[in-house]
Structure 1
């Protein structure tokens, strides 16, 4: 809770709504922020023990005791008590929440204006989705499934956008969704495509783990439209015939009653565009030999370098980068 910007809200017996602006300088009771008041209650209600409060706050208040709300992923904490602050009013003092607490990583502000689904109305599309997959009751699960490219495109077509589909009931579990291209030499039994924990089928999918075509993680946009001059090639003579979708489930409470049908949808344009879209992945492998962070260090910088062979196939005029998606887990910063 240290360095957390906190809003404390409640509704008293008269139906009056209160919200306090607080800040935690340490892992203890957060102090009231008396520099400026930046949290404002709009409306709320309390029914059968459930309390809901709608409030507003500027994205960046320029207050040193407030944390800016940034684009993409924001790490949120939450907690609740069983009694209202005492005395009930703007100066009420809060009690310790004990183990009634939790955290979530949520996208509170998009990096850009995402397109609406209407943008792709009337277009053909295909889905790569799970079908009521039973999420294991363990903290971390990586599930992988191979999908065959649609066979109904005899000529190359361009996907011009995609939609990430996360079951609304499982938004707290789905951490990322990746779509890999399988190497053109990869072969599978189309009647029994690999579908299991990633570690369990890693030998079968060894040719499907190097080139990420679509990446979504918590904080990314669900809808993506590609630039008008480029499309992602599908079908026809495009050599990629199989794809692997990797879904990471983060289940810290080890829930055992969840089924999931998350995945992704690709929208197919009516005409080919000028350029084929490709993917360039840069980074460091998360292995002890490649990435070893010493214990008890406050800051550790990782530098990655590419050899000349990594860019040997680039055209002389260079390449155009249309988007970038950094991905690292909680201890890291870009």
Structure 2
């Protein structure tokens, strides 16, 4: 379902719908204009607060829509069109005119206005609805534009009105994508914060939300469709701007950087990708989730970017079944960044990251190398939780130079699985990714590696002439702990193919190999009571020892020691629950 401006005055000279509409309004609405004007004058917004959501509906940004909704499922629209006379706004299914749900309104030369609810029968016929379910709230016109504010319920009782919903398909995995223009600003601004807005009843369904920057030269489709389905255009745009996954919260960028919008170099459109996981195949779920971006004219010193790294997801990634631990690796070799970028790449100052696997993931870490030597383990989560994926800031900036390498290692457990798990989009598939937030930005969008699968298949006793045969051969392996360890070793020791991609979808291949990871020494443990006691704690300890030794508090046989300590140190709120615990 998508908003579609069906027509603006003077923009389609040979459109039959235009002729019909003009004739109808000349004859019909002269008779009704006074009652409509009075109705609009007596109406007011359902709320005095500003409408929270907005978007331009055309590439020229001449049609601006704002909207908001309330707890009663009433949605209010404000449509501003750079045109005078009359305007039409409607909803269609997959962009097809028949069945379209339309409102048409405008201001007559004498200052009176008209507004009405219609539906499209076919390419040449438009009919006014018997049930008028849109209410006009206000309408104004100046020398260049027309603004109409109106409202309706999400679902009306008129079969000619399109329901305003996005139903989550009753499939276990859905990737829904749409393309949205960013707000047009006259001067440079910085996006400084983002947060997910999840429909409350769908928290368990929304797996992740990603926002991709689209090159201004891209030819983008309209509507909502499967991101990686039959229409490849819905997979356009690969430069990630921001991302959210299960368990994440809002994230504010450091004061020195933000995402630039408003300059000729900046992207003007984004691809919004929402991944739904409807494992129980529940029908009829309606979702309005998305991501809210905050931007400001108060500029930061640097423009930031996001680099996607890790293991190329499909089709090479695989996990053996029934193993307690299996490691996968994806390498980024930056040696060709400058050539691919077109201009020298300045040092990349990494300030944050987001780690991502699916349900089998148990640990993720990213390791930074320079001149063949390990510099640091940049990010690490050895207790990875699928339900707690959040963007995290580094304690201090880490500098990447051209030629550096970045290795992502993911550890999995598949004890509950009896068949191979492959990399892919479903939550039941797997991924191994690390998104690096850095500044100043460059044109590189992703840098990911994968092992030579033919070599891996051969090491497992199979034959394969190419990558496709290699993946087919993996299915023939008799998997057990020994073959799993052999596969892990082969994936680690074989050369990696590294795929580097720019925001303009330019791709180059590089090679590299997985270097050893030098484990960092854990910090020494500390016991709090081994520190030098203060006079106060020393006195407390002596008091307790004196009481215990004198027998004045001989309750060890009836009360556990923790209760004794709570009583002594005075936690009255704990005393109220102690009887239930004993």
Taking structure 2 as the reference length, the TM-score comes to 0.33
Q: Is the 8 A contact 1:186 1:242 kept in 2?
A: no
Shift in Å at residue 202 of structure 1?
4.3
Distance in 1 (alpha carbons) for counterparts of 2:253 and 2:321: 42
Distance in 2 (alpha carbons) for counterparts of 1:171 and 1:263: 12
In structure 2, the residue matched to 1:255 is 282
Distance change >3 Å, CA 300–CA 182, structure 1 → 2: same
Which protein is richer in helix relative to its size? 2
> Max radius of gyration: which structure?
2
Aligned equivalent of 1:185, options 217, 225, 230: 217
Distance in 1 (alpha carbons) for counterparts of 2:263 and 2:230: 28
**In the alignment, does 2:241 pair up with 1:213?**
yes
The residue correspondences of 1:275-314 to structure 2 (distance < 5 A) are 275-289=302-316, 291-309=317-335, 311-312=337-338
Q: Secondary structure at the match of 2:306?
A: coil
Aligned equivalent of 1:195, options 214, 220, 224: 224
Shift in Å at residue 288 of structure 1?
3.0
Structure with higher RCO (Cα < 8 A, 6+ apart): 1
**In the alignment, does 2:196 pair up with 1:169?**
no
Q: Secondary structure at the match of 1:322?
A: strand
Shift in Å at residue 233 of structure 1?
0.8
Q: Secondary structure at the match of 1:186?
A: coil
Distance in 2 (alpha carbons) for counterparts of 1:180 and 1:276: 16
Structure 1, unaligned stretches of length 5 or more?
1-121
Shift in Å at residue 181 of structure 1?
1.2
Shift in Å at residue 194 of structure 1?
3.7
Distance in 2 (alpha carbons) for counterparts of 1:309 and 1:207: 26
Distance in 2 (alpha carbons) for counterparts of 1:218 and 1:298: 24
Shift in Å at residue 309 of structure 1?
3.8
Distance in 2 (alpha carbons) for counterparts of 1:140 and 1:301: 25
Distance change >3 Å, CA 126–CA 322, structure 1 → 2: farther
CA RMSD after TM alignment: 2.8
In structure 2, the residue matched to 1:154 is 186
In structure 2, the residue matched to 1:329 is 358
The residue correspondences of 1:1-334 to structure 2 (distance < 5 A) are 132-151=165-184, 153-188=185-220, 193-200=222-229, 202-208=231-237, 210-221=238-249, 223-289=250-316, 291-309=317-335, 311-312=337-338, 318-332=347-361, 333-334=363-364
Distance change >3 Å, CA 148–CA 213, structure 1 → 2: same
Q: Is the 8 A contact 1:162 1:267 kept in 2?
A: yes
Q: Secondary structure at the match of 2:270?
A: strand
Q: Is the 8 A contact 1:156 1:237 kept in 2?
A: no
**How many residues in Structure 1 have an aligned counterpart in Structure 2?**
205
Q: Is the 8 A contact 1:125 1:265 kept in 2?
A: no
Distance in 2 (alpha carbons) for counterparts of 1:238 and 1:215: 22
Q: Is the 8 A contact 2:212 2:242 kept in 1?
A: yes
Structure 2, unaligned stretches of length 5 or more?
1-49, 57-66, 69-163, 365-582
In structure 1, the residue matched to 2:464 is none
Taking structure 1 as the reference length, the TM-score comes to 0.55
Distance in 2 (alpha carbons) for counterparts of 1:272 and 1:126: 23
